[in-house]
Amino acid sequence: MFAWIKRLDDHFPVRYTAWIACAVAFVFAAYAAWRWGWRPWIAVALLALVLLGLRDRVQTRHSVLRNYPVIGHLRFLLEFIRPEMRQYFIEGDNEAAPFSRQQRSLVYQRAKGDSDKRPFGTQMHVGEIGYEWINHSLQPSVLPTHDFRVLIGEGRAQPYEASIFNISAMSFGALSANAILALNAGAKRGNFAHDTGEGSISRHHRVHGGDLIWEIGSGYFGCNHEDGSFSEERFAKNAADPQVKMIELKLSQGAKPGHGGVLPGPKVTIEIAEARGVPPWVDCVSPSSHSAFTTPIEMMRFIDRLRDLSGGKPTGFKLCIGHPWEWFAIAKAMQQTGITPDFIVVDGAEGGTGAAPLEFTDHVGAPLQEGLLLVHNTLVGLNLRSRIRLGCAGKVVSAFDIARMLALGADWCNSGRGFMFALGCIQAQTCHTGNCPTGVTTQDPVRQRALDVPTKSDRVYHYHQNTLMALKELVQAAGLPDPSAITAAHIVRRHSEQGVKLLANLLPFVRPGELLAGEMPHQVFRTYWPMAQAESFAVAA
């Protein structure tokens, strides 16, 4: 008998049990439908499972399905819902992947106008290396408003007084139409800026009239000739729009610095093509570098030209720091030409709402702290810091995140994923698939209808307002008159089990004019400053 069972298992192993059970159940259901009038759809459903098992056995793509017909699909289902299961049932409140439950909950609560208070003390490990806090004062200050502003482009024809907390660059195409509508409506109501991303200004950006920062990428979308080169005429026309407050030249982004991109033709809808100035249903290429300039000096002249063509609107650039000598080459070009951007936005490698190859996400580009500090120190050392405003982006979602970046030298902060959470993003991490469960990052008209524009625009507005209210309370607790007064001497970090230091003593800072005086204050300057040249991004001979 055992030999018979073994022979049976050789032909129909235990792993086929689910498939065989479906076949047996089908026979019974079909007989019951014919003999006793059972509902025939049961038999049809079971037949479909039997045929599915047959297909699993003959296909060659998935070994799991060949060995486990029918039931093997459970593995792919569990893999599909794994992020949600981990997020809701396994992940701790302070595990960051990339944003912790506590961080996301804070945004959700502030966006909804719910209480963001926490009972029973901190959940943070205050003895852990890397833990940070802001020192408070025994004489707190009283600030009249939470509407903190920074003037960008002072002395230009059309300067812009920006909020110190704005929406980071996210293109229409990466985000849905409803997401763009809600973000811009919230920005309009709260009087803060909405960066278009390199996908240019779409019809959805214009509906509510919120302030725009127009990002110009290497594809020159919205200001391009048919061959993809830069068009002064198209640029001037779009830049003249009163809704456009600043012009931002994108050199690189935190998610995938040094990497171009292709939007496949089937995704280039008529609306996306209209915004970008490209043919619909044809592959849309974002080159990895610019064609309008090839040297740092040419770049400075291009920025100056953009400023003139825009009628004197604040014009600057965004980058994620890579080779230090390339950034130093840009700084030397500022010196040599006398042309300075009105602002620079530093993107950290930990940032990025768009999909990117894993190697780029994890191992390319400088993190925000190092990138921001290098840019700030360079400008201070050249006595240019007072002429150039600094923005930054990279996992900034809370008031303390903003305070910390201001301490490192930023004038304002941008947030991408923070505002995505305000829209209802649940960090499903399916942004690049078109299957976003909340309608934030999809062009599927059915899926994006789930995102109700009036409701979500309210949440965008409230998240912005409540975050700045929290920042106001932090600044008051520190006894300061304004967020701009926050310095690295106000933030403390634990650097060992027994030791803590002010960031001012832990991180390298440069004194005003040091580089002009020929002093090389830190190793990065001693090593890379001599390698930089204004005439080329390449290493000096």
Q: Tell which of 81, 111, 134 closes a domain.
A: 81
The residues near 69 (Cβ < 8 Å, ≥ 6 apart) are 16, 18, 19, 52, 53, 54, 56, 57
pLDDT of residue 353: 65
pTM (two decimals): 0.86
pLDDT of residue 17: 87
- The answer as to whether 540 is a domain residue is no
61 and 198 both lie in a single domain: no
Q: How many CB atoms lie within 10 A of CB 149?
A: 16
* CA-wise closest residue to 317 among 195, 483, 188: 195
Q: Tell which of 39, 58, 81 closes a domain.
A: 81
Distances (CA, A) of 324 to 10, 242, 327, 524: 64, 36, 5, 8
Q: Tell which of 42, 65, 81 closes a domain.
A: 81
76 and 217 both lie in a single domain: no
CB 49 within 8 A of CB 22: yes
pLDDT of residue 406: 98
pLDDT of residue 247: 98
154 and 247 both lie in a single domain: yes
Q: Is 347 helix (H, G, I), strand (E, B) or coil?
A: strand
Alpha helices per DSSP H over 315-356: 324-337
Amino acid at 495: H
- The answer as to whether 265 is a domain residue is yes
pLDDT of residue 150: 98
* Strand ranges, E, within 156-264: 160-163, 165-167, 194-195, 212-216, 244-250, 261-263
Token pair recorded at residue 385: 């810091």
pLDDT of residue 89: 63
Q: Which residue has the tokens 């059972």?
A: 38
173 and 299 both lie in a single domain: yes
The residues near 146 (Cβ < 8 Å, ≥ 6 apart) are 465, 468, 469, 471, 472
Q: What's the domain range around 342?
A: 149-478+513-531
- The answer as to whether 329 is a domain residue is yes
pLDDT of residue 8: 45
**Cα-only R_g, the chain:** 28
Q: How many CB atoms lie within 10 A of CB 29?
A: 20
The residues near 480 (Cβ < 8 Å, ≥ 6 apart) are 137, 141, 486, 490
Percent of all residues in the chain with a pLDDT value above 70, rounded to a whole number = 94
Residue 470 sits at the vertex; the CA angle it makes with 464 and 473, to the nearest 5 degrees, is 145
Q: DSSP for 287-324, please give it.
A: -SS-SS-SSHHHHHHHHHHHHHHTTS--EEEEE---SH
User: What's the CA gap between 178 and 165, in Å, rounded?
Assistant: 22
171 and 290 both lie in a single domain: yes
pLDDT of residue 429: 78
74 and 163 both lie in a single domain: no
Cα diameter, the chain: 99
- The answer as to whether 491 is a domain residue is no
194 and 77 both lie in a single domain: no
What are 1-37's pLDDT values in tens digits?
Answer: 445 444 545 555 677 888 889 899 989 888 888 878 7
- The answer as to whether 420 is a domain residue is yes
- The answer as to whether 114 is a domain residue is no
CB 235 within 8 A of CB 162: no
63 and 171 both lie in a single domain: no
- Residue 428, classified by CB atoms within 10 Å of its CB into exposed (0-12), middle (13-18) or buried (19+), is middle
230 and 309 both lie in a single domain: yes
What are 213-267's pLDDT values in tens digits?
Answer: 999 999 999 999 998 999 999 999 999 999 999 999 999 887 777 676 777 777 7
160 and 74 both lie in a single domain: no
What are 458-516's pLDDT values in tens digits?
Answer: 999 999 999 999 999 999 999 999 999 999 999 999 999 889 999 999 999 999 999 99
Q: How many structural domains is the chain composed of?
A: 2
167 and 316 both lie in a single domain: yes
pLDDT of residue 92: 61
pLDDT beneath 70, residues of the chain: 1-13, 83-97, 258, 260, 352-355
- The answer as to whether 157 is a domain residue is yes
Please tell me whether the peptide bond between 98 and the residue prior to it is cis, using omega within 30 degrees of 0. Answer: yes
Handedness of CA 342, 307, 249, 203 (dihedral sign): positive
What is the CATH number for 269? 3.20.20.70
- The answer as to whether 126 is a domain residue is no
Q: How many CB atoms lie within 10 A of CB 119?
A: 4
74 and 169 both lie in a single domain: no
